[in-house]
């Protein structure tokens, strides 16, 4: 192997290490529109006994999918038609909306971590075939980052940790109080709702970076 080839190989290695270091803490960001997660029981109540959600396309999180099924959200002051239902079925039905959505519907949805729906808002759901009342389950999802354990280790963060994230856009913002969720079943992605997306002038492909408590790059 001649000297020129050795130098080329070393250059590629160094370039790779530099790129890896520069990308440490970098997170792809997705904006989540209003959507519904249904329990098995509520799927059957809305669409018929024995009915199961049918996948339309996969989502960024492994095993999660957008279904072909749609529902209407009905609140005291308004409604939203053609709302996406995400699968697979969950233990409890959960409706995720933005603050703007909640105002339009006439409900007071609390900001909550996904799955923590006790004492949250109620709403009616219609499939066109049937209608049900969800006594509690409407939340504004707390902004959060899905992260597998190996990436969490490389970023120096852990499950349930609260961080801040600088968003790189033409209207840059720093989102505080961002929940880190770590699981072997996750892929790396930060989720914000449409109100938050509008605040940072979100476009597909936008990324952010985790900040330390001192406000410096992680």
For the chain, the domains span 33-141
Distance CA(179)–CA(144), nearest Å, equals: 4
* Residue-level pLDDT at 212: 65
* Nearest one of 131, 141, 125, 211 to 174, comparing CA atoms: 211
Peptide bond into 166 cis (omega under 30): no
Residue 24, pLDDT score: 78
How much is the pLDDT for 207?
96
- What's the confidence (pLDDT) of residue 6? 52
User: 61: closest CA among 179, 190, 156?
Assistant: 190
Beta-strand runs (E) in the chain:
26-32, 35-39, 55-58, 65-74, 79-90, 94-96, 111-112, 121-126, 131-141, 144-147, 162-168, 173-182, 189-193, 207-211
- Look up the pTM and report it: 0.86
Contact predicate 181/163, CB 8 Å: no
Distance CA 72, CA 37 (A): 13
**Chain centroid, CA 169 distance in Å:** 19
Beta strand 144-147 with 173-182 is parallel
What distance in Å separates the CA atoms of residue 124 and residue 78, rounded to the nearest whole number? 11
Report residues of the chain scoring pLDDT below 50. 7, 10-11, 13-22, 214-215, 217-218
Phi first, then psi, for residue 154 (nearest 5°) are -70, -30
- Strands 79-90, 35-39: pairing is parallel
The pair of structure tokens assigned to 194 is 């449409």
Nearest to 96 by CA among 40, 59, 45, 134: 134
- The Cα 83–Cα 95 span in angstroms is 10
């Amino acid at each position: 192997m001649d000297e020129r080839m050795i130098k080329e190989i070393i250059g590629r290695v160094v370039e790779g290490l530099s790129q890896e270091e520069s990308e440490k803490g970098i997170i792809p960001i997705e904006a989540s529109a209003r959507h519904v997660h249904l329990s098995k029981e509520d799927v059957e109540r809305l669409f018929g006994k024995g009915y199961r959600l049918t996948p339309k396309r996969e989502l960024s999180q492994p095993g999660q999918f957008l279904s072909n099924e749609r529902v209407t959200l009905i609140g005291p002051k308004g409604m939203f038609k053609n709302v996406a239902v995400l699968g697979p079925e969950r233990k409890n039905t959960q409706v995720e909306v933005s603050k703007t959505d909640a105002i339009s519907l006439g409900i007071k949805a609390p900001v909550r971590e996904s799955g923590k729906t006790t004492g949250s808002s109620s709403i009616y759901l219609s499939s066109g075939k049937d209608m049900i009342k969800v006594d509690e389950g409407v939340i504004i999802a707390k902004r959060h980052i899905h992260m597998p354990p190996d990436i969490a280790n490389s970023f120096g963060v852990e499950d349930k940790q609260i961080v801040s994230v600088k968003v790189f856009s033409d209207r840059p913002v720093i989102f505080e109080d961002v929940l880190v969720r770590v699981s072997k079943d996750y892929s790396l992605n930060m989720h914000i709702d449409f109100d938050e997306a509008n605040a940072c002038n979100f476009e597909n492909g936008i990324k952010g970076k985790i900040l330390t408590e001192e406000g410096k790059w992680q």
